Structures are given as C-alpha cells and as structure tokens.
Structure 1
C-alpha cells in the first residue's frame, strides 16, 4: 500500500505528523510512552489506533487529536452538508452567550422552555445530529433571553436548562469532529451550571470537563479531578437521593475510562464495580441530568472500558447475552455496537466486527457515519483481509471511507 492509499487511516496522519516533527518511530514511542511495536503497527495499518494512542501521540507531537483523526471530515453527500451546516450558527450562539438578547419576541415561559429542552435532549439521545443542531441555536438564544428576563429561582432554572442545552450542543460538535467548539461548550456548561446553584448540575459539568481531560491524555489529573467531584456531592449521596446516586455512579464510570486509557485495568475495574453498585439503587431507564445512568448503561460502559485497554477478549465476554432495554437511548446502544466491533476485531472476530458496525448503522446512522473509531475499524479490517467482501466495501462507501 502507498501512503496515498492509506490516507483514511489514523496511522497515515500519525506518520505524516511524526515526519514533520523530524522524529523517528522510536522517538515518538518514547515521548508518547507507548511501545515501538505499537507505533509501527498503527502506522502500517495493521492494528487500529485506539483513542488512548491518539491522545498520547497528539500530546507528544503537540498537535490536535482531531488532526491525527482527519477531523472534521469533509462533507461528501447532501446529508453530510446538511449535518455540518448547523455548526456556524452554533458557533455564533456560543460566542454570544453573555450578550443581552436582541430585540425580538419575549421568550416562552420556563415550563414551556423546559419541555423544549427535553425535546432537544431526546434528539441528542437519538443521535439525530442534523435535527438537533438545527434546533439548538434558536433555543439557546431564547434561553439567553429568559436568563436576562427572570430573577431568583426561575432564573436558576433557566441556567440549569442552558447547561443541559450546551451539553447537547457539545455532543453535536464532538460527534462532527469540531473539538474546539466542543471544548467551548464545556466552558459554557460549567458557567451555566454555576449560575444555576445546583450542585448536581455542577457535577454534570465536571463529567464533561473530565471528558476534555481524558481527550487531552491528562489521565491521572482527571482521576484526581473526578475524586474531588464525587466528594462535593457526598451529602446528596448520603441522603440516598436517586439523582445524586446516579451522578455518583456516572462519575465513577468516567474515572474508569480515565484509568483504562492510562492502562490501569485494576483501577478501571474498581471504578466499574462502584458504578455497578450505584446502578442497583437507580430506576431502570433513569435519565437524571441527561446522563442516562442505569444498569444497562453500566453494561455498555463495561464493554467499552475493556476495549479502551485493548482487551478484546474481555469486551466480547462482557457483551455476551446483553440485550439493552427499550428505554436505553439509541445513541448509547449505537455506541455499544461500535465499541463491540472494536472488541471483536481485537479478539480476531472480523466478520462479527463488521456485523456489529452494520448494527450500529441501523440504530444510529449519523453517529456511526461520523465516528472516527468506525473509520479506523473499517480501514484496518480492509488491511487485515485483502479478500474484501462486498459488504465491507459497501459499508465503507456508505460511511464515505476511501479504501485502497
């Protein structure tokens, strides 16, 4: 394969960035704290680049992780253009977050706004990125106007709704590969949550901030940060308030991810065990602060955490017999199939990996099409099996992935 043939792979982008830095593969391995063998295999397209590898390599090379993943992907279809067309309006609204509203109709009452935000969160859980992105700018603008209009408790409610809406905007930006805007959304979530004076909203903001730290390969710092976040809601958890217990559990899941990315399987499993225990005390299908934490959520995270530490065998084992409930968000189920495909590929089950990607496409097509790990899985499946099936080639065409 030529370098041009492998242009879709993360390994190609890593190799280009490494050569621009003037480094050998050994120098990159040493500075990213990964093995030389891993660098070689990723650059050759023989194994997929994990998010942990991407974050570590990006940190070492001093480039954005999105550069190594080739994001945001250039639109290649009319649907792609429609999905990405939401970004400019979101960017403007994120920039105007503290400005008083321009002249226009008065915002709706807070209860009506709460219903509109709940609908936006349902679109988020469905991973309907185009519809969600189109709805959010006007909704954020109206909430901004309401925050200037109200005082006291109603104003705090509006800021809580703003925090939830900024979280939805962050998901759109992140899934479309606009990491800079996703980071800006996290800043806005923290700001609005603080204005709401709701300790659990602030804990949810900590959850999103932890995601930023993990993406930047600040794994140990993230573990300490999340420990502090859980400590700040100790009183609410002791009172056995279900939203607090759910928040406590989801913060443990995030710690499990940080530990898995750091290569610490034992610590990751410890946090997973804490989350599993918390889920026993949470109603199935609960969606406190739109974090959708329950036993199904923990099962899905368990598979993903095994994949993050490159243990495909354990990921496949954890997925056995799992059938998510109807209340589990489609975004979460689609992500499960993407993670399982990665685990199956690591486990040597390449046919099953492709079948899982097809399931992900059926459940959450927009999320699947724009997910960097989907692209990486497909490219390395093609590299591993030169007798490419029509199904793999067809999936690649649908996802806009150019195969050699």
Structure 2
C-alpha cells in the first residue's frame, strides 16, 4: 500500500491494467480523457484496466506511458527486469567529473581566484560553444569542472559586498549552464542540487537577471518532475514575474528576454496541464515581449527571442495534444532562424511529435533525422524522440520500420 492508502502500482503482483488504473487515478485523469488521448474508446480503456484485454503492444504501451507521465516503462508494465526510462538519457562520459566538481567542498583555497572579467568571458564562451557544437554536452562537460571550481573560489574570496554580489551572479550563471548538462541524465538528485544552489547564488547576488534565469530553470525542473510539481512550478514562475514587473519598463534586453522566457514557461506548464486558454494566453504575452527585442537578439541561456516564438507555438500545440494545430504551427515556424544547434534540434523533435499526433509517422521520422543532423546529443537525451523512434521500430510498414531502426542505431537505442 502507498502512503495514502491506495494500492502501490509498483508492487507485485499487480496486473498491468491495475497499475494503469492506479496511475491514471493518481493523476486525476478520467477514462474518457485517456481514451481520447489514445484514440481509443472509454470501454477499451476499461477493458484494459479490468484485464479483459491483453497488455497492449509496445507502440500503444509507450503512448500510455507518455500520457500518464511514467518515467520508467517497467513501472507501468510491471517487468522490473528490463527497466526503460523514457525521459532519462544515458549517463554522459563527462558526468563523473562534473559531479565531482559540484560535490567538492574545499575549506581552504590554495590559489587565487581568476578576475571577475576573466571568469565572465569564459562563461560567455561556454554559452557560445553550447549553441554552436553538435556534441554540445561533450563540449560543455569538458569546460564545466574548472568553471565550477573557479566560480566557487571567486565567491569565497570576494572581499567587498559589491565583489561578492558580482561573484555570486557569475556562480549562479555557471550553475545554470551546469543544469543544461545535468538535465535528463541518470542522477536526478544532482540536478536538484544544482538547481537549488543556482537559486541561492542568484538571490545572494541580488541581480534580477541572475534571479530570473535561476527561476526559469527551477520551473523546468519542477514541471519535468510530474503533475504533482506543477503548482510549485507556477509558484516559482509567478513570484519571479511579480518581482520583475516593476523593473521591465527600463529593462535591458537580457532581463526583458528572461522575463519573456518565464511567461512562456507559464504557458508551457498550463499546456501540460491541459489548460488551452491559459497556455495560449501566456504564449501571446511572451510574444508581445519578444517584439520589444531587437530582431537579431538571442538570449544565450533561454534562447528567448523573436526567432523562437514560432518554435514555442509548436510546443504549446503539442503539449495540448492538438495534432492538426501542431502541424499548422510547424509549417508557420522557420527553424532556420534559430541560431542554436541544440535548440534547433529540440524544435525539430517538437515538430516530430506534432506530425505523429497528426498521424504522419513517416514525416515524424524524417524530422527526427533533421534533429539528429543538427545536434545528435540533443535527440539522444530527449525522451519524446526516443519514444517515437522505439514505437516506429515495430511499425507494420517495412520501409518505415527500417528507417526507425536505422535512426535507433544512430541515437544509441539499438546496437549496430
């Protein structure tokens, strides 16, 4: 039994249907809602849950897991011998070194911290490398250990209040960069340590931009942790926006973009909750803020800009599971204007989700190929891309199955 008295869906010997029903009810989702999202009838869902129908095949199983936000397929299927985490990618080879730098707690400094200007220049180069490299995790993973140690050292050695605030802002930005690397890797506790340290450093800096950026990443961490964290995501988001509101009339481009990114994140969370009105309302508010930015401006951390709003519209439509609208928004968005390789790949993955929702699996696979071309490490760590590829490896159409298997090999889901 679970802490609230309901059966534990992860305990044996519960049947698949019982697990599905418990997980569905815990997420407050009705049978008609789940049936509609699956393209099935409510009676089909009932027959699955009551055991009158057999466990569905892998494509449908993966769709159920996505709808119920089940992170490990084994938790739904009940087979713990072969866990498949749908939303966590493989551990990167540079993860241990980054983890060691985060976990280190030196009490004495044996060297002098680098000057603030030097540290900031390295941070700027690291953001640029992240956007330009197809293997961006590898590049950032190589830079982060020294950046983390030097930023921590600078914060400890700062000898005036002004220097301390500057150093804390730099440290918060390094933690933000670190969170991009750690996300979707098999160490969720490390992700939360980074997010929390980033928020503390940002608050110590008293820098509105640092606070906005740390909040933006914390919102994502909460939202990606599941429906039970949506309220926490909204609380962090809206509190930060209230803090920023008086500053926006005279804000520089970076602060304006960070606030715009937060408005979009509020829409993103609303879309995942299924609230179409709030989702598109926040997207429109973010679009208004994007129009205040120069046409060529691109925020180095959030990617917020005029260029990104089309991609954001695709994400809202996909999260609302509106296949036709997703395809319409994808047709209207221009991916070529997104200067960041990983963000362009992420947009292609969102487009692929839309095409699959709209019943166009061949176009979805072709779009995932484009995502892989833009940034292989992005698609390798994206749970939605992995689900689509795995689903199509069992397609009845031989050519589609072959293309999916070829992509699965490139992404690392299947052995060559």
**Equivalent residue in structure 2 for 1:25, among 20, 23, 26:** 20
- 1:9 equivalent in structure 2: none
Q: Which secondary structure state, in structure 2, belongs to the residue aligned with residue 258 of structure 1?
A: helix
Question: Could you tell me whether the CA contact under 8 Å between 1:307 and 1:339 is conserved in 2?
Answer: yes
Q: Residues 380 and 308 from structure 1, CA distance in 2 versus in 1: closer, same or farther, beyond 3 angstroms?
A: same
- 1:371 equivalent in structure 2: 382
Q: Residues 242 and 131 from structure 1, CA distance in 2 versus in 1: closer, same or farther, beyond 3 angstroms?
A: closer
Question: Could you tell me whether the CA contact under 8 Å between 1:87 and 1:133 is conserved in 2?
Answer: yes
- 1:53 equivalent in structure 2: 68
**Equivalent residue in structure 1 for 2:121, among 115, 122, 134:** 115
**Equivalent residue in structure 2 for 1:169, among 161, 174, 178:** 178
Question: Could you tell me whether the CA contact under 8 Å between 2:253 and 2:293 is conserved in 1?
Answer: yes
**Equivalent residue in structure 2 for 1:134, among 132, 142, 153:** 142
**Alignment of structure 1 residues 235-314 onto 2, 5 Å:** 235-288=246-299, 290-314=301-325
Question: Could you tell me whether the CA contact under 8 Å between 2:299 and 2:305 is conserved in 1?
Answer: no
128-137 vs 85-94, which moves further: 85-94
**Alignment of structure 1 residues 96-111 onto 2, 5 Å:** 96=104, 99-100=106-107, 102-104=109-111, 106-111=112-117
Q: Distance in 1 between matches of 2:167 and 2:251?
A: 26
**Alignment of structure 1 residues 195-214 onto 2, 5 Å:** 195-214=204-223
Deviations 1:136-166 (A, max 9, x none): 0111101111222223323322221211111
Deviations 1:329-364 (A, max 9, x none): 111111000111111011011111011000000101
Question: Could you tell me whether the CA contact under 8 Å between 1:52 and 1:262 is conserved in 2?
Answer: no
Q: Which secondary structure state, in structure 1, belongs to the residue aligned with residue 335 of structure 2?
A: coil
**Higher Rg of the two aligned structures:** 2
Q: Distance in 1 between matches of 2:272 and 2:255?
A: 26
- 1:335 equivalent in structure 2: 346
Q: Residues 18 and 73 from structure 1, CA distance in 2 versus in 1: closer, same or farther, beyond 3 angstroms?
A: farther
Question: Does residue 186 of the first structure (1) align with residue 195 of the second (2)?
Answer: yes
Question: Could you tell me whether the CA contact under 8 Å between 1:147 and 1:158 is conserved in 2?
Answer: yes
Quote the offset at 1:48 in angstroms: 3.1
Q: TM-score, normalised by structure 1?
A: 0.83
Q: Residues 289 and 341 from structure 1, CA distance in 2 versus in 1: closer, same or farther, beyond 3 angstroms?
A: closer
Q: TM-score, normalised by structure 2?
A: 0.81
374-383 vs 24-33, which moves further: 24-33
Cα RMSD (Å): 2.9
Quote the offset at 1:285 in angstroms: 4.0
**Equivalent residue in structure 1 for 2:151, among 143, 146, 169:** 143
- 1:160 equivalent in structure 2: 169
Q: Which secondary structure state, in structure 1, belongs to the residue aligned with residue 343 of structure 2?
A: helix
Query: Gaps spanning 5+ residues in structure 1: where?
Result: 1-14, 62-66, 76-83
Q: Residues 348 and 101 from structure 1, CA distance in 2 versus in 1: closer, same or farther, beyond 3 angstroms?
A: farther
Q: Relative CO higher for 1 or 2, CA cutoff 8 Å, sep ≥ 6?
A: 1
Quote the offset at 1:210 in angstroms: 1.0
Q: Which secondary structure state, in structure 2, belongs to the residue aligned with residue 108 of structure 1?
A: coil
Q: Distance in 2 between matches of 1:42 and 1:343?
A: 23
Q: Which secondary structure state, in structure 2, belongs to the residue aligned with residue 281 of structure 1?
A: coil
160-169 vs 319-328, which moves further: 319-328
Q: Distance in 1 between matches of 2:271 and 2:198?
A: 26
Deviations 1:94-151 (A, max 9, x none): 2236x445424x3322111111111111233346101211210111101111222223
- 2:130 equivalent in structure 1: 124
Q: Distance in 2 between matches of 1:267 and 1:57?
A: 30
Quote the offset at 1:44 in angstroms: 4.4
Q: Residues 326 and 29 from structure 1, CA distance in 2 versus in 1: closer, same or farther, beyond 3 angstroms?
A: closer
Q: Residues 224 and 193 from structure 1, CA distance in 2 versus in 1: closer, same or farther, beyond 3 angstroms?
A: closer
Deviations 1:250-309 (A, max 9, x none): 111110111011111111010001001110001234344622211122211110111112
Question: Could you tell me whether the CA contact under 8 Å between 1:361 and 1:368 is conserved in 2?
Answer: yes
